[in-house]
Amino acid sequence: MMTKRSIVFLVCLPAVIAILAGCSTMSRTEKQLARVDSFEAPDIPAPGAAPMRPRDSGLEYSRDVLVISYDIEIGKEPLKKAIRKYGASIIYDYKIGNAIAIRLPDPEKLEDAITHFEKVKGVLQVSRDRVNYLDRRVSLDFL
């Protein structure tokens, strides 16, 4: 004869198994990011290689735009002065994140510009602007 305790156990056991089977210490997104962030990922360039990604991957870098983040305590004035002196133009002044996007006068000197702006007082990071595309396989039939 089954007791009330064994009935509860038999009813709850499948639910517990289903929950535990779906649990993981890492979410699926975290696992995907871990693969992308690893150096073994095929779309990560080797050190010294051109960091351009093919357009079909959905991500490429802008040829003439840099995003420069600066120290809030020093402020953006030294950076703005360096931008004017270099001949670049400000595209966007990010209010959140303390960064400025600039367009370079000569895209051929991108590496030189990165080196130049990394030396400016208060600059924390200089990175290339990334261009993201939507997945081209998505159909627009619903429109």
The string of pLDDT tens digits covering residues 64-99 is 899 999 999 998 899 999 999 999 999 999 888 899
Intra-chain end-to-end CA distance of the chain, in Å: 62
CATH for 60-132?
3.30.70.80
Cut 0.85: pTM above it: no
Of the segments 15-24, 51-60, 116-125, which one has the largest average pLDDT value? 116-125
Give span(s): CATH 3.30.70.80, the chain.
60-132
Q: How many residues does the chain have?
A: 143
Rounded to whole angstroms, the Cα distance separating 126 from 93 reads 14
Rounded to whole angstroms, the Cα distance separating 60 from 63 reads 9
